[in-house]
Amino acid sequence: MTTLLEILEQPLVLALIRVLIVFTALSLIVAYLVYAERKILAHIQVRLGPMRVGPHGLLQPIADGLKLLLKEDIIPEGADRAVFWLAPAITVLASFTAFSLIPFADNFYVTDVNVGLLFVIAISSLGVLGIILGGWASNSHYPLLGALRSTAQLVSYEVALSFALISAILLAGTLSMNGIVKAQLQQEVWFAFMQPVAFFILFVAAIAETNRNPFDLPEAESELVAGFHTEYSGFRFSLFFLAEYAAMVLVSSIAVTLFLGGWLRPFPNVEWLGFLRFAPVVVFGAAGTWCFLRFFRFPTGREWFWQRLMLFALGTGAAAAALGLLYPPVLVASQGAFWFLAKVFLFLYAFIWFRGTFPRYRFDQLMRLGWHFMIPVAIVNVIFCGVGLVLSWELGWNRSLSLLLASGATLLVAAWLARGRS
């Protein structure tokens, strides 16, 4: 008789379960990323942020979602209705589909192919089509201007981003997302330390690709009302909103996978740091203890919230430990996903921090930075990276030393370009 574990291990069933887990988790992360952004920016500005809907405003994303679903759906007169409907769907599908190639743990990913990185770049680039179509189909000047500016910005910075990714491909020798992480494990170093210039270019280009400060020119409210989605309202506006924050998670996941070891814990080859594999259980236990201490600091009317949050944190840690004992692959997946998400959240915090810190670029500054600085530096970095690898293969130079020398030569070129621009 077929057991439950045998059914779950069927390839089709396993892939479907992974898709459901990734889609549900990603939707929750995107929804509460908006809440986290409002809270973090509020604390930066010495405010409280959302506080009214639920304890500490924790139910605010649900209220925002219901509000957008119930709002009147308006389509401008003269708009191309079919394209107006299709544009936000294209943007969302492109953002979510790309996650099918992201490895969240050694044994947890939807699929893995030998050209995974190429597929991720190709499918994520389709998101700009939704922006172009949405701006054009609105039959309005402001969305059209916003769409044109967004297209110019995304196409420009995709070139620099692609050259930054080539550096990681040269180091790993594969286009497989899973293979790139395993290459970092075999070489005992994260690629961000061997190619810091490529990592920096990827990070800056990722900010520009997601239209975040200081590169949020397509949605510059002071100039374009709201950019390409000015005429959108209700549910279709929420799809653009969802796609933007999903793209933030996607570019952070790509950067973590290619340059920060993906699901690997810090120093995975150091044996005496093996205790770090218990980090997920320790973190959830610490969260439960913190909630328990907070439980006694509030009057009776609010104690229930901290009590339930404590039970959730402790229960999650206990459930992960129990499932890991009963079914070891769950323990491997939970540990890998913990470190992967921890690194991704560091990137997301940086995105939010920059929004509350840096002023917006002018459009001419944005394009000059992309074409006159980022792209030349990215091309020179790929050339020097290739030279460093050839020196290590053909002349027997130390691989790490030759790559660091290549990065140093790239920095000299970058300094010369920056001096010329000033």
Dump the DSSP string for 60-115. HHHHHHHHHHHS-----TT--HHHHHHHHHHHHHHHHHGGGG--SBTTB-S---TT
**Token output for 242:** 């969802």
Handedness of CA 170, 176, 180, 185 (dihedral sign): negative
Virtual CA dihedral for 92, 95, 99, 100, nearest 10 degrees?
60
Exposure letters 211-240 (e unless 16+ CB within 10 A, then b): bbbbbbbbbbeeebbbbbbbbbeeebbbbb
Cβ neighbours around 352 below 10 Å, total: 20
Omega cis (within 30) before 50: no
Cβ neighbours around 117 below 10 Å, total: 24
Burial of residue 292 (number of CB atoms within 10 Å: 0-12, 13-18, 19+): middle
- Of 38, 333, 87, nearest to 232 by C-alpha is 87
- Of 154, 170, 134, 348, nearest to 256 by C-alpha is 348
Cα separation, 182 vs 106, in Å, equals 9
CA distances from 128 to 83, 145, 349 (A): 14, 14, 24
Burial of residue 402 (number of CB atoms within 10 Å: 0-12, 13-18, 19+): buried
pLDDT score of 198: 92
pLDDT score of 383: 92
pLDDT score of 122: 86
**Token output for 234:** 């209700």
Query: What DSSP line would sit under 16-64, residue for residue?
Result: HHHHHHHHHHHHHHHHHHHHHHHHHHHHHTT-----SSSGGGTTHHHHH
Exposure letters 145-159 (e unless 16+ CB within 10 A, then b): bbbbbbbbbbebbbb
| Site of tokens 């997301």 | 348
Is residue 284 a contact partner of residue 317, using CB atoms and an 8 Å limit?
yes
Residue 105, strand partner residues: 108
Contacts of 14 (CB under 8 A, 6+ apart): 8
pLDDT score of 1: 46
Cα separation, 250 vs 16, in Å, equals 20
Per-residue pLDDT of the chain (422 residues; tens, 9 = 90+): 456 555 555 667 777 877 888 888 888 888 889 889 999 999 888 888 888 887 778 888 888 888 888 888 888 888 888 888 888 888 888 888 888 888 888 878 888 888 888 888 888 888 888 888 888 888 888 888 888 888 888 888 888 999 999 989 999 988 889 999 999 989 888 999 999 999 999 999 988 888 888 887 766 656 656 677 788 888 888 888 888 888 899 999 999 999 998 888 888 777 777 777 777 777 766 766 666 666 666 555 555 565 666 666 666 666 666 655 555 666 777 788 888 999 999 999 999 998 888 888 888 888 888 888 999 999 999 999 999 998 888 888 888 888 888 888 888 988 888 875 55
Phi, psi for residue 105 in degrees, rounded to 5: -160, 175
Is residue 405 a contact partner of residue 190, using CB atoms and an 8 Å limit?
no
CA distances from 14 to 21, 106, 110 (A): 11, 15, 9
Contacts of 237 (CB under 8 A, 6+ apart): 68, 88, 229
Is residue 381 a contact partner of residue 407, using CB atoms and an 8 Å limit?
yes
